[in-house]
Structures are given as C-alpha cells and as structure tokens.
Structure 1
Amino acid sequence: MASSSRARPILRTDYFGQQLATKIDRDATVVATNSLALPKPLAAPDSPLAQPAFETKERRLLELQLMNYFCFDVCSSLPGTYFPETRNIWTVVVPRLATNYDALLNAIMTLALRHMLCSGCQDIAPLDEKYQSVVGTLSPAVADAASFTSVVLSLDAFASLRDRDIGDYAAPVQWLHLCKGVMQVFRVTLKLLKGYPEANINKIVATSGPFVERSQIMCEANRNQFPALLMRQPGESNEDDAAYIETVSYIGAIQSAIKAGEDIHSTTRRLIVYPVLFPQRFVELLDEHRPRALVILAHFFAVAAHCRTSAWVGDIPKREIIALAGFLAPQYQHELAWPLITTAQMAIYAAMIIPVLYLLFRHGKVGIIGWFYLAAFCVLRILGGALALGGSKTATIIANIGLSPLLLAASGILHESNSLRKVGDAKVEWAVVLALHILVAGATAILAVGASALQSSSPLPSDLIKVKVGITLLLIGWVVLVGWSLQSWFRRSTQHSEASRAGRKILIGVAFALLFIGIRVVYTLVAFFSQKQSLSPVTGTLVVRIMLVLVPELVASLILIAYGWITRNDTSPKNIEGQAARIHTRSRQGNA
C-alpha cells in the first residue's frame, strides 16, 4: 500500500511499514486513553507501539527512528518554528521532556507516524479521559509537558482530517471537540505556570503576540471580510448569532493576515490555533448541521487552502469543501461559490501547469510563444485564486484580464501549426502574430486600468467605459483569431511529412479551443455591459461562475494540452530536423 512504501525508507522492514499503516488508529487510541491515574488499556499485541512484555531490538529501533524523524522532519513544519527559540524548544527541549512524561512521548510517536503516513491515517479518539486524569494530578513539574501534549495531539487531529470518510458527510465536530479539550487543558496549565518564566510553553505563548489578542480578532475589519456570513437567519437566537459572528471574525482574521502578506508558516499557525478558540455554541450548531454553520466552515477551509503546501494542510480544504457542496441543499449552494471556485481553480491549474511546462520544452522554439502564454495563463489563474482567498481587490482585475494570455496562447499555437505545415509566407505570419499581440496587449492595458479604478472608493463613469472598451477589443481579437484559423484551415500544406500532419492536428485543437474561448469572451462582454451582479465573474452565482467562467477556460486549456500532447514527438526540434533531412535526401535522389 502507498503509505507503507512511504514509511519503508525510514523503517526499513515491510513488517513495520504494514503495521504502521494499519494500526495507527489503534495506537492513537492508546495515546488518547493512557492515563497517569487509570490503568493502561491493553494494546494490540501486533501494534508497533504496544507495550511489549519485554524490550526488543525492533521496538528500540522503531522508537529511535520515530524520535529522529520527529526532531528533523516533523518539527520543521510545526507552527511557530520559524522563531529560532521556538524551533529549539520543539527539537531539543520537548524530546527531553518526553523522556519523563509518557503521554507526551506517546503523542510524539503518534504525530511522527501521522506525518509519515498521512495518506492512510484515521481519526484519533477524543482525549477527555486523558486530560481529566492529568489535570486532576497536575503540578508545575508536569504542566509544561501536559501543555505540549495538548499542542501535539491537536495538530495531529487536524492533520487526520485529510483521510476521514466523507462519503456520508458529517461535520468534523470530533476534531473541534478535541480542540475545546485542548483549550481546557491550556487554561489549567497556563494558570498553574503563571509566574514561571522559565516554562517553555510560556515562551511559545509569548511568540503568539497580537494574533491571539481577542480585541484585535473581534474587530469590524475582520468581520466584514465575509459580509454575507453575517446575515442573521430567521429563527436564530441571539446566542446563535453571536457564535456565528465570533467564528466569522476568526476566519476573517486569517484572511486579513493573508491579504497583508503574512508568511505561510504564521498563517498555518493561525489555522491550528483559531479552531481551539471557536465558541462552544458554534461547535454545537455545527454538530446539528445548521446550514449557516456549514457555510462558515466551508469558508474556513477555503481560507486554509492558502496553506495547502503545508504538510499539515495538504488537500484537506479541497476535500471538505467538495463534500460540503454535495451535502448542502440547493438553496445554499450560491453561498459556497467563493470557497468552491477559488479552491478548485487553484488546485486544477496548479496540476495543469506541469504538463504545460513539459510541452513548452517538447515543442521547442517553433511552439515557444503559444506554450509560454498557456503557462502564463495557468500561473495567472493560480495567482488569482490565491488573491481571492486573501480578499485582494487585485483578484477582480486578474479575473478580468485572464483571458489575454489564453487568446495569445491560442494565436501562438496556431502560428506553430502554420509553421509546421509550411503554409503562407513566414513574414506575413509573423506580422499577423505581432498585430494580434499589440491588439490584445492594448485591450489588456485599458481593461486593467478601468478595472483597477472601479475597485477604488470613488469610481468614475469613464472607468466603466474603459472596461467595456477593453472587453470589446478582446472580442475583436478573438474574431481576428477565428478568421486567421479559417484561412489556415483552407490553405494546403506544401509538405507531406509527420510535422505537417502534426500541424494539422494542432489546427483542429485550436479550432475547438476557440469555441470555448469565444463563450468566455462573449459572457464577459455581456456581464460588463449588463452590470448584473448575478453575472459578474467575481460575485456571480455558483452556476454562472462554473459554467461561464471556470468550464470554458478549463476546457479550452485542456483541448490545447491534449493536442499538444498528441503531437509532442512530431514537433520536437530533432524530429523536425530529421524529417527535413530525409525530404532533402529524397529530393536529391529524385533529381538524380
């Protein structure tokens, strides 16, 4: 299995790789219920972390490897370790604490397993019994270690969301209940450690700074990041509405930090810490599957997608948002437009850019223009999604000008087709390419200036006119491109070679792609001339943004990639040179 293979380079035996993958849930339960005051439950005898009747070499090696992995691999990705002192605490002090505190040692082992086998992990059990027994006998000597145990296990619980079963969707309240348990432990331990500046957990808390300061989180600026989520629904009590608003403030604080350009490691720290602070009433409403609570949860995961490169986040946001979209009733789907579209767009184009860059290399200089602009289009869409998650107004500008590189990509790939087929005069071809570039570049500049001005606090009527002029010029550019494609379609190739046949295939791909690009261009024109919010590429309904924005661009890009992939071998520089040499040889033989 995949998770086993990932563990083998570290554990070096098939047996332990399989055991770690299949027994992690049972081991996590042992960690969760193993108490200082209560007798230890019997662990499965075949579990690698189960307490054996006698020590073995395999167990000692396993624990050594897990601790080594924790210090050198896990700690580097923990929230807050960008501070040197915090990193030293996690890599040096915490392992030392664990040697005298079994619960922390077991938690470290489990977290190391989770990091290794994140693709095969399961939900971990709640830790209420463990925490109650620890708190009941707590003293300053063990409070420090108990605090770190809470942090480690809450982090492990968040990471475990990536592989929970979401087929029959249920809100991840178990994770949030664990977060509330962590909060209870922290209240007791921090109170007990007050006045102990040498306590390591106090040093880490000190680095939290203003991002956990309630007065800075519960501000109007954070709440207004998502105004639609603040609308009170019929039948909601004052307590319910207050819980929703407080939760939205936490999510808005994360988005504000992203918008301000905060480091991704700091933002990941917020993602781990803020759910611990969510109001208990919100967790209860989420457990009842209240629609407003589920929509707010979807927005939390949409913001979390900004940190998808973190080992602790990964594809969790995408899985949760897609599952929520399938669970919520149709009347609530429009409220998921922002998290669903932005998350899907970033994930799709991040995956697409890899084959595009490969085709840029394979097609060589004859296709460099087209594939370069297609790569630029993918980057622009990824950037637009990231800015949208950050609440940046620049996302609106990028959404409007994103068509430009797609049009230029189609023109460049069409030029590649004509070059391979040797149709028309080369100078005329380059003149058409240059003219189209000037037209699209001018349209993009006018559109960007107008769209930027429309986002200001006092837009002028002339700003909207600029946007309309820019969109109209893009439409003219598309019409020119269609006309050029039709002319190329009816021109005969002067050669009969593999490269010429590849050029014909590419021309077919460009023709199909232009149909979907046309849908996107015409839609944008209608959206800006009608000025309807429901048709806006940024604020439109879920159906509009998927069917008229995401799908046409995606299908056009995939068509170009598909035909580029089919012809990748026939259009390589070496293959073209070889074909030219063979044609020249046959020509000389015929003349002889």
Structure 2
Amino acid sequence: MTTSTEGLELAQLVFYAIASLPAIYCFITHGKYGLVGWLYVFAMCGLRLVGNGMAYHALSTTGKPSTSASIINGIGLSPLLLAALGILHEANHSIQSALPAFLGSFGLLIPHMVIAGGIGLAAASGKNPHLLEIGLIIFATGWIIVLGLVILSVRANAHPRRVGDEKKLLLAVGIAMPLIGVRVIYAIVIAFKYQNTSSGSLAVMVILGTVPEFLVMINYLSAGVMTRNLARDRVEKRPQPAYDTAYSA
C-alpha cells in the first residue's frame, strides 16, 4: 500500500513529467535570448523527475529514503532560482543598453556563481551538517542578489520602453521570487533543525516545500506560453540608415 510520502513523490513525478512538455516548448519558441532561462526551467523538471523517481523507488522497495535522491532533490532547488535569473535577462533584452552593466550578461555571472557555489557546497556536504548550513546560507545570499536585480530592473528608467511580453516575463519573475524565498527559508530551517533537507512533518513539507515549487513552475510556464511569440515580435531598435539626398553636379 502506498504511504503518504510515496504518494507525494509520485505526485511530484506526475507534475514534473507534465511540466516538462511546456518547458521544452518554451525553450524552443523563446529563441536565443530566452535560452538560459528556459533551459533551467527544463533542468528543474529533469532533476525532479530523477530525484523523485529514485526516492519513490527507494521508499517502495526498501521503505527507507534514498541519500542520492535527497542530494539530487537538494540540487534541484538551484534551477528554480537560476531560471529566474535567465528569464530576467530575457525580460531586459530590449532595454539592455539603457541598464547598468551589472544587469548585463557579465554582471549576471556573479549571482550564478554564488548560487552554484552555495548549492554545490550543500550537495557535497554529505554527513557534515555545517557544510550544508553554510551552503544554504550562501544560496540564500544568491536569492537576495537576484531579488535586488529584479527590483532594479523594475525601477529602471527605461522600464516603460520594454516590449509588452517582456513586462509579462518580468512580472512572472517578480511573482516567483517570494515563493522561492519561502522555499529557501524552509530548506534552511530544516537544515539547522535536522541537519538534512528531507526531514520534518509531511504536511509542512508539502505546504512550504512542494507547493511553492509547483506555483513557481506554473507561474514560469504560464508566462512562457503567453509570451511564446516574443522572439518573433520583438522589435530591435536599430539606428536608421542615413541617406544622402544631395546630388553632385
């Protein structure tokens, strides 16, 4: 008989299997400027499918959680935040020249490195709870940096000149950030309390862990499908060529 924990793992498998289809669609339709963001959205689906699949198999066969699955599911939190960074970059494309350098491609490398470093340290912590805690705190720092970049993007003087669909993407990122924040805080609290990322009440895990992730993914994918024509409709503002109307005698 399927336990509640197994049911949760199975529900996540079904959700991310379905979500992977629009994720691939968005990755294809958004073109090169949306490449990074939608790749991370799809990566989130892939990691969750692998992690939850391993967890479900371990629970259904041995009745014990899988350490490997816990590590993979822990890493799976990073694409959620990195996707926000990638989608933010896509939302800023048409006004990129009017934005500060730290909102450009090179500037976005810093939060990428912070997020990757934090989640990498947490994933490699093994049985060392202190490394896990430090890694998640670094990851939370990455979330704060991304939140700051989102706020600066919204408040940019050039914001009104964004293409309409870019504003929708920016709104989606703005909606996602508090939800990701809830998920990050939950992971930190669990890590400090239980020295891992998979313990605690199942009900709390669903409310503060699973549901925020589902909402972020639905938010991303809804915005992605709604703005599927952005790559085609985006108007590149280029200087008009000057024509010499004077004729020499």
TM-score bracket, normalised by the shorter chain, equals 0.7 to 0.9
Q: CA 1:437–1:369 in 2, change beyond 3 Å: closer, same or farther?
A: same
- Is the contact between residue 516 and residue 552 of structure 1 (CA under 8 Å) also seen in structure 2? yes
Q: Deviations over 1:50-70 (max 9, x none)?
A: xxxxxxxxxxxxxxxxxxxxx
- Which residue of structure 1 aligns with residue 10 of structure 2? 343
Q: Given the alignment of the two structures, is residue 437 of structure 1 paired with residue 112 of structure 2, yes or no?
A: yes
Matches of 2:84 and 2:103, distance apart in 1: 18
Distance in 2, matches of 1:378 and 1:482, equals: 23
Contact residue 399 and residue 538 of structure 1 kept, 8 A: no
Change (3 A) 1:428 1:342: closer
Structure 1 residue 546 corresponds to structure 2 residue 206? yes
Q: Does 1:373 align with 2:29?
A: no
Residues 414 and 510 in structure 1, CA contact (< 8 A), matched pair in contact too:
yes
* Alignment deviations for residues 543-586 of structure 1 (CA, whole Å, 9 cap, x no partner): 112111110111011111111222111x21x333xx237x756x
Aligned mates of 2:163, 2:113 — CA distance in 1: 29
CA contact (8 A) 1:537 1:549 kept: no
Matched, 1:511 2:174: yes
1:489 to 114, 131, 154: 154
CA contact (8 A) 2:23 2:221 kept: yes
* Contact 1:471 1:524 (C-alpha < 8 Å) held by counterparts: yes
CA contact (8 A) 1:349 1:381 kept: yes
8 A Cα contact 1:506 1:563, kept in partner = yes
Partner of 1:46 in structure 2? none
Say whether the 8 Å CA contact 1:370–1:412 is kept in structure 2.
yes
**Structure 1 counterpart of 2:117, which letter?**
G
- Does the CA contact (< 8 Å) of 1:371 and 1:413 recur in 2? yes
1:398 to 2:96 alignment: no
Question: Please, which of 187, 190, 200 is the counterpart of residue 524 of structure 1?
Answer: 187
Partner of 1:385: 52
Contact preservation (8 Å) 1:520, 1:553: yes
Tell me the SS of whatever aligns to 2:99: coil
Is the 8 Å Cα contact of residues 421 and 495 (structure 1) preserved in structure 2?
no
1: CA distance, partners of 2:159 / 2:186: 39
Q: Name 1:470's counterpart in structure 2.
A: 135
CA RMSD, Structure 1 to Structure 2 (Å) = 2.2
Give the whole-Å Cα distance in 1 for the aligned partners of 2:145 and 2:176. 15
| 1:390 CA displacement | 2.5
Distance 1:514 1:359 in 2: 20
| Aligned residue number for residue 88 of structure 2 | 414
> Which aligned pairs between 1:100-499 and structure 2 lie closer than 5 A?
297-298=1-2, 336-391=3-58, 392-422=66-96, 423-425=98-100, 428-450=103-125, 453-454=126-127, 463-493=128-158, 496=161
Moved over 4 A (4+): 425-428
- Distance in 1, Cα, partners of 2:95 & 2:14: 36
Task: Answer yes or no: is the 8 Å Cα contact 1:404–1:440 preserved in 2.
Answer: yes
Query: Aligned partners of 1:519 and 1:495: how far apart in 2?
Result: 30
Flag the 1:552–1:544 CA change in 2: closer, same or farther, 3 A.
same
* Contact 1:517–1:556 under 8 Å retained in 2: yes
Alignment-mate amino acid for residue 580 of structure 1: E
User: Which has the bigger relative contact order, CA under 8 A and spacing at least 6?
Assistant: 2
What's the CA shift string for 1:478-521, capped at 9, x where partnerless?
A: 0001111111111032774xx62221111111010011000000
| 2:236 aligned with 1:580 | yes
Specify whether residues 428 and 439 from structure 1 end up closer, same or farther in structure 2 by C-alpha distance, changes over 3 A only: same
**Identical-residue share of aligned pairs (%):** 31
CA distance in 2, matches of 1:339, 1:528: 22
Structure 1 residue 588, shift from structure 2 partner: 6.9
- How many residue pairs match? The answer is 235
Could you state the TM-score of these two structures normalised by the residue count of structure 2?
Answer: 0.87
Q: Unaligned regions of 5+ residues in structure 1, if any?
A: 1-296, 299-335, 455-462
Give 3-state SS (helix, strand or coil) of 1:538's partner.
coil
The normalised TM-score by structure 1 is 0.38
Offset at residue 420 of structure 1 (A) = 3.0
| Distance across 2 between alignment mates of 1:417 and 1:548 | 28
Aligned counterparts of 1:375 and 1:527: Cα–Cα separation in 2: 26
Task: Tell me: CA distance 1:495–1:338, structure 2 relative to 1, closer, same or farther (3 Å).
Answer: closer
Report the alpha carbon displacement of residue 425 of structure 1 after superposing the two structures with TM. 4.3
